[in-house]
Amino acid sequence: MHIKSAEFVMSNSDVEKCPKSRLPEYAFIGRSNVGKSSLINMLTSRKSLAKTSGRPGKTQLINHFLINKNWHLVDLPGYGYARVSKSSKKVFQKFITQYFGLREQLVTAFVLVDIRHTPQPVDSDFMKWLGENGVPFSIIFTKADKLRPKAIQNHVDAYKAILLETWEEMPNYFITSSSKDIGKDEVLGYIAELNENMEPGS
């Protein structure tokens, strides 16, 4: 897939106010500072479509971007936010779960995890919640440029081993690096494939 256009549509914390169109949506979510904004900018070939920040927890709203005029990329707040109040965390958690529960346009979610780290309980718990609520998702391992190829495979294998203790099979996954454009074609190709499968007569 070649992204010809990427436009900011809206930000809000009220799921009822999300775009009314029936365009397919793909939601990106992960713990704070996992590299979500950088990944979105890499996928769309835009330097600052999503705002990056050295301060974790920067994304605190549901952000919709219209891609190629025919699907929405959704940038969701992190579920391991730093430097925000407990009351704010509860609000964020509430509208994240509302988003997944109410958005019929959602095709799949992408859960971002830092490939350098072993599975964190907050990641595992969130994936478990998605599974229990019937929300399709893929894992996107970020920051692969920080490791050598052998180490990448070792980390993925270790992640698989832990997840397979509770999952029947390893969820679909991608290995990416925003700084090296690693995984871009694979993620966009997967989205293109899902979009094509939804088109009438395809």
The residues near 173 (Cβ < 8 Å, ≥ 6 apart) are 138, 139, 140, 141, 156
Domains in the chain, ordered, with CATH? 6-198 (3.40.50.300)
Residue keyed to tokens 């478990």:
128
Q: Which two tokens stand for residue 198?
A: 């939804």
Please state, in angstroms and as integers, the Cα–Cα distance from residue 121 to each residue in 114, 117, 126, 129, 180, following that order.
13, 11, 8, 12, 28
Burial 52-71, CB ≥16 within 10 A → b, else e: beeebbbbeebbbbbbeeeb
* pLDDT for res 173: 97
Each residue's pLDDT tens digit in the chain (202 positions)?
Answer: 999 999 999 998 889 999 999 999 999 999 888 999 999 999 999 988 887 544 444 457 899 999 999 999 999 987 764 444 555 455 557 778 889 999 999 999 999 999 999 888 888 888 988 999 999 999 999 999 999 999 999 999 999 999 999 899 999 999 999 999 999 999 999 999 999 988 654 4
- The pTM (predicted TM-score) of the whole model is 0.89
DSSP 196: H
